[in-house]
Structure formats: structure tokens, C-alpha cells
Chain A
């Protein structure tokens, strides 16, 4: 019995030692423009997020032991790809804001920082007070803008262009999903008033989706489900009445476990402006959709709480 153990144990030890010499590279490229935020806010993000979401990664000796180091390096690489506070200048102002709201939401849902990381780096944990500081900071960025002339103008422009619009061919998203014009006559499953980015949305479901809601069979949603979400600017008058302004985009999530296996069982597509321009340089644009929807993995990646009607 003892001998049986000795040989494998020795082998494992030797492999582990050898592994220490095969090292991925984690370097810190230059910081082009760091996130600007109040000190208190910044300190929380630096402490909890900067190891994976900046070019100021500060790995401790215990992060560098193989095979853990591989995972750490991978986290840093993938983390920087989706969100890098050191290249903040590379983002348009609206995208900076969007990323911040996304970041705080990932935090609130417990999706970030990654659990295996906080397990070892307990100082990276974000307390309730810290979260409140971050949320207050974001809430402070929301301002009422009654009678916003640029928004009214954008709507007028779309209204005038409406009559002239005629489409021969339906647009196609880079991952091969064709625009589905029928969603306009589907039932509504919810609506959303987004004060983070001044838009309002209506979420539609096809017949399969509406039936699934009635029968409470929505986790997971059945194959054939299609959810659509259209978004508009918000136009506010001086009495606080908000109506839909310019059309921003429509997005689809099409459920098919087999066909869309590589993207969590959902086919994602987004078409922008009344021209319905497909979103994404290539099929990899879905990574962005999935990363933000990921905290909802226990709800089949769906945010919406559907309404029965």
C-alpha cells in the first residue's frame, strides 16, 4: 500500500517543480490614461479590481506558484481585455460611464472580483459600505435634463427619415443572425427605465416565450424562445413626463441549446439605429453580451423578470 503511494507522490512533486519553470508572462504595459474618480472611489477599485483590470497588476509570491499562476495570468489577460482602467482615455465618455455601471453591477451581483481571488486576497473584498460609496458616486452622475434639444432634434430627424425608409434585404449580424422584423407584433414581457444611460426599453417575447412565462417554465427558457429588446432615448418635459425619443437599437436573444452551444445556448444579435446596422466587428462581439449577462447565469442569463399578461 505504502509503495503505491510513494511513486505517484514523487512523480507529482517532480512535475510540480518542473512546472515552476514553465511560466506565462504577466507584464505591465504602460498606463495611457488612468481612471479619474474621487479618491475614496478610486481606492476601492484599485484594491479590489486593479490586479486584473489595469496595467498595474501587483502579483504576490503566492500568485506565482504553478499551476495557480496559469490561472492568474489568464484572469489578468481576460480581465484586461474586457475592462482596463489604465486605458481609460481610449474609451468614449459614454462608454466610460457604461463600463462603470457594468462594473458596479458585477460587484453587486457578487460576480466580481472573482471568488477564487478574494479567497486568497481577502483585502480585495468589497464591504457593504464600499459598495454604497460606489453606488452613491454613480447616482451622483445622474442628472435631469428636461427639454433636451439635441434629443428632440434627433427624434425629429428620425421621424422625417421614416417615410423614405425602404429595405430590400434584411440585415445580418456577424454571427449569422438575421434581423427579425416580426418582434414588433409580439407581446411585451417587461419594460425598463434606464437612468444609468438615459434610455427606455421594451422587452418582447415571441409566442413560445409568452407561453413559457404563463407556465412558469423560464429557467431554463425552452428552445425556440426569442426575447427582443428595443431601446430609445428618453425625452423629458418640465413636468417630469418622459416619452420615447430617437430609436437606439433592437437586440435579440434566441434560445437554441445546440445551435448556440458556444454562447450559453443563446444567439445574440444587435441592430442599431433605424438603419438597423448590425453590431460587432466579427462574431466575437457576443463575448461582450455574455460577459455582462454572466451574473445572471442562475437565471439562464436573462435579466428581465417577465410579466404575465
Chain B
């Protein structure tokens, strides 16, 4: 009798433990993650805004330092010196956890803007990295347009 109950209890315990938590590795969004060599989190820039292109099915987050934030926050007169900003763009995918949401899928590009010089002589340097491995692009066509596009974004309201 005792043996039977021990058996039943342990069978039950095994049954319960079978219902395991999901594997953390599968919960990380690998295809949207940035490669190890691109240390975005170490730049300590904060989110300025985010936007979506329905036509391209992409979603982007614009990060920046304090100077970039001020330059894009409509209530503060803008100056470009010291500006450093990073725009990350992903292809959208359906959220497997929520019908009704789209989340970042493949990492498409990172674009950076950095100010050099001060005052009137400030220039904005632009760099584009593409693909999952964020390969630095030598081609600079369209550069002025991209700077203009990024610097014309408005900071999101974040109380």
C-alpha cells in the first residue's frame, strides 16, 4: 500500500515537472538582436522616438545623447554641437505571443550621426551599417537626405 502511494506521488511529481518553463534561448529575439561587436547599450543613449514604415514593413527606434534629444525636442531651441544619435531599423514580424501586434524581426540597418566641430562650424557625420552583422557601408550616396530625415524627427512625448 505504502509502495503504491509512493509510486503514485512520484509519478504525479514527474508529471508536474514535465510541464517545463520555456527555454530562455528561444525567448530571446535572436534575429532582431544586435551583433556583439556593436555595443549599443554601452553608448548609453536614450530613446528619442520610434516610428514605423507601413510601406516597407519596417520599424525603427531613434536613440540619442542629451544633445540629440534637445535638438529634436520641439520646445527647446536646437543646436547641433555634441549631437550623437543612432537609428536602428528592423523588418517587422507578427508577434507570436499576441495576435494584434508586430514586433522587430530581422535587423536591417543601423545609422549613426555624430557632430564634429562646434558652433557654426558643426558638421554632422553619417555612417550606415547593414545586415545582421552590421557591416559598415563605404557608399555614402543619399547621406544628406538621411541626415535630414533623422534630424527632422520629433521626440516622443515621455512625461
Contacts and interface: CB of A to CB of B under 8 A. Distances in A.
A276 B159 contact: yes
Contacts of B59: 191, 193
Contact of B50 (A162, A187, A202, A302): A202
B139 interface: no
A210 B75 CA distance: 31
B124 to A, nearest CB: 21
Interface stretch (A37-45, A88-96, A239-247, A262-270): A239-247
B157 A187 contact: no
A192 B102 contact: yes
Interface in B18-70: 19-25, 27-30, 32-34, 38, 40-41, 44, 46-47, 49-55, 59, 61, 63
Interface stretch (A25-33, A52-60, A76-84, A217-225): A217-225
A104 interface: yes
B4 interface: no
B15 interface: no
Contacts of B74: 159
Contact of B101 (A104, A192, A213, A250): A192
Interface stretch (B77-85, B90-98, B113-121): B90-98
A10 to B, nearest CB: 18
A108 B95 CA distance: 12
A231 B90 CA distance: 19
A163 interface: yes
A190 interface: yes
B103 interface: yes
Contact of A242 (B25, B38, B40, B53): B53
B24 A219 contact: yes
Contacts of B44: 185
A73 interface: no
A217 B33 contact: no
Contacts of A16: none
A191 B61 contact: yes
A180 B46 CA distance: 16
Contacts of B27: 218-219, 299, 302, 305-306
A108 B99 CA distance: 8
Contact of A191 (B19, B22, B28, B103): B103
Given A193-B103, A305-B28, A307-B104, A202 B61 contact: yes
Contacts of B61: 188, 191, 202
Interface in A74-120: 101, 104-105, 108-109
Contacts of B54: 144, 236, 240-242
A305 B102 CA distance: 12
A234 interface: yes
B51 A309 contact: no
Contacts of A275: 159
A298 interface: yes
B10 interface: no
A200 B100 contact: no
B154 interface: yes
B125 interface: no
A8 B46 CA distance: 68
Contacts of A261: none
A188 B48 CA distance: 11
Given A193-B101, A303-B95, 17 more contacts: A101-B99, A108-B99, A159-B75, A185-B46, A191-B50, A196-B100, A202-B61, A216-B24, A219-B22, A241-B52, A242-B54, A246-B157, A247-B158, A274-B159, A303-B97, A305-B28, A309-B41
Closest 3 CB pairs of A and B: A196-B100, A240-B54, A308-B33
21 contacts: A101-B100, A109-B97, A155-B157, A185-B46, A187-B41, A190-B104, A193-B59, A193-B92, A194-B101, A202-B47, A216-B25, A217-B24, A218-B24, A232-B157, A240-B53, A241-B55, A244-B156, A244-B157, A305-B97, A305-B103, A309-B34
